[in-house]
Amino acid sequence: MRYAHEVGKVRAAEAALMARLPEGALMQRAAAGLAAVCAGLLPSVYGARVVLLAGGGDNGGDALYAGARLAGRGARVVAVQAGSKLHEGGLAALRAAGGRLLNASAAAVGDEIAGADLIIDGLTGIGGTGGLREPHATLARLASEATGTVVACDVPSGVDAGSGRVEGAAVRADVTVTFGTYKPGLLIDPGAARAGVVELVDIGLGGDLPDPDVVAARPVDVEPPEPGAESDKYRRGVAGIVAGGDAFTGAAVLSVGGAVHGGAGMVRFASVAHPVELVRQRWPEAVATVIDPGADRPLEGVGRVQAWVVGPGLGTGEAAERLLAEVLGSELPALVDADGLTVLARRRDLLRRAAPTVLTPHAGELSRLTGAARDEIEARRLEHVRRAAAELSATVLLKGSTTLIAEEDRPVRVNPTGTPRLATAGTGDVLSGLIGALLAGGMAALDAAAAGAYLHGLAARLASDPAGDGESPISAFDVITALPAAFRAIA
């Protein structure tokens, strides 16, 4: 896992460590790590043109000390002073190594940045909030437009380290060298998109850091249930799917496909006649049952299941409400998606249950569930997914450019495999079926949702670029087809 900590916890850990170290030792550790990464990005340090964008804070000091190390190895280093002051020790070290200083207002600044082989962004630090002011905003723009490699110290300037928010101008880095621990804003869009490749430098914070606030999985962390020698279809898990209707049949076919290719031992599908007919044609391995949504207990004859998926294409009328109530009235894990979330927004009382519940909204659906404005949710995704998990007493998977999965009092999971190619109709239905299969296989709700999101994103990437030579458009069915390859990729 990649572990990320909020700014206040990082500051406290740094203070505890600095109290045990000689003055300036922590900054020297950070600068040494930064200089080492930068040196590795250059074909040759000797003769390379390096520009430092230096603010008055500690990140400016890190950049200056790193620049001094590069200058000592023969690089031509120019520091651009963005504010009224600079870190005195860092500036002295740079000058002693032969580096030069320019004020941000100097006429040569634009040409220096444009001609640099490498640009180090030390304009602001992890405490920076809100949009960049001048001259920082202009320097960030010039760096982002330059052809040289851009390396950010700790977090790209203009990116909120705690949330990933970007308000106005921000540096777009090729590489971000972060110190001690990841910051949430490096893992969550739009900040993640500005960070480029993130390199973590160990500066010794380990023992002083508390539990993480946000975590992002690596392939080895995704552990879907594996069949053993004694497995049968029931031990592997039976996923029950209640989806589709006469108006929306595709959601039924896609959600069942996600479960079939998601490792379920058996999939039981329940709906009205037409979706059942289509599912039987496309997925003959699924056990499909025609139900009467108007009956008192329409799911009673479906058979044994170990987890439910309810909602995709279901409609939002009384029949859908009756089906949702029956599913959530059970003692089985359940996932609610799509139309089921719309019904749930008016029947939040159905969430009063002891069994695990996974909700998979996009921002608009979460807005209906919680009453928060959609724009506000989009702007503060991390804050709102945490709040929703606590308020709704559920595992909440908030879809988006960065999918976030939250449970109350647990670190928020960030899915690193998302791709814009998933922004096409039906992919959410596939995700619902996939997570339902993992729930039926015995995974805990948070783990199933996080693993499902990871595999779903990975399948989309594999489907859109199977040969590794460039992405192409995909459909939801392409994601289903690529799921086995996604499972193999993490094995």
pLDDT tens track for 229-249: 777 787 889 999 999 999 999
Q: Are residues 206 and 252 in the same domain?
A: no
CA distances for 194 relative to 116, 134, 187, 269, angstroms? 20, 19, 10, 43
- Binding site for K(+): what residues are annotated? 59, 121, 157
pLDDT of residue 351: 97
pLDDT of res. 232: 75
Q: Which residues are annotated as a binding site for (6S)-NADPHX?
A: 58-62, 125-131, 154, 251, 313, 362, 429
Q: How far apart are CA 174 and CA 193, in angstroms?
A: 10
Residue bearing tokens 């693993």: 451
Are residues 208 and 258 located together in one domain of the fold? no
Whether residues 331 and 357 fall in one domain: yes
Q: Does residue 376 sit in the same domain as residue 437?
A: yes
The segments of the chain whose pLDDT lies below 70 read: none
Quick one: 364 and 256 in the same domain?
A: yes
Supply the mean pLDDT for the chain.
96
Give the model's pLDDT for residue 48. Answer: 98
The domain boundary residue, chosen from 150, 183, 216: 216
Structurally, how many domains does the chain consist of?
A: 2
Q: Quick one: 238 and 186 in the same domain?
A: no
The residue range of the domain holding 190 is 2-216
Q: Output the pLDDT for position 284.
A: 97
Same domain, 35 and 163: yes
Phi, psi of 14 (to 5 degrees): -65, -40
Domain end marker among 165, 187, 216? 216
Q: What is the pLDDT of residue 225?
A: 87
Q: Which stretches does DSSP call E strand in 213-265?
A: 214-216, 238-242
CATH of the domain at 93: 3.40.50.10260
State the pLDDT at residue 177: 98
Q: Is the full-model pTM beyond 0.85? A: yes
Q: What is the pLDDT of residue 120?
A: 98
pLDDT recorded at residue 235:
82
pLDDT in tens, 56-113: 999 999 999 999 999 999 999 999 999 889 999 999 999 999 999 999 999 999 999 9
Report the relative pairing of strands 404-406 and 395-398 from DSSP bridges. antiparallel
Q: What's the CA gap between 91 and 56, in Å, rounded?
A: 11
**328 and 237 in a common domain:** yes
With CA atoms as reference, report the closest residue to 257 among 279, 240, 242, 236. 279
Could you tell me if 345 and 478 lie in one domain?
yes
**Same domain, yes or no, for 247 and 103?**
no
Which residue ranges are tagged as binding site? 58-62, 121, 125-131, 154, 157, 251, 313, 362, 399-403, 428-429
Q: Which of 216, 235, 255 is the last residue of a domain?
A: 216
Phi, psi of 405 (to 5 degrees): -125, 125
Verify that 293 and 420 share a domain, yes or no.
yes
Q: Could you list the residues known to form a binding site for AMP, using ranges.
A: 399-403, 428
**Any idea what the CATH number is for the domain that residue 264 is in?**
3.40.1190.20
Transcribe 158-177 into DSSP letters.
Answer: TB-TTT--B-S-----SEEE
Q: Quick one: pLDDT at residue 226? A: 83
Looking at the structure, tell me whether residues 285 and 196 fall in a common domain. no
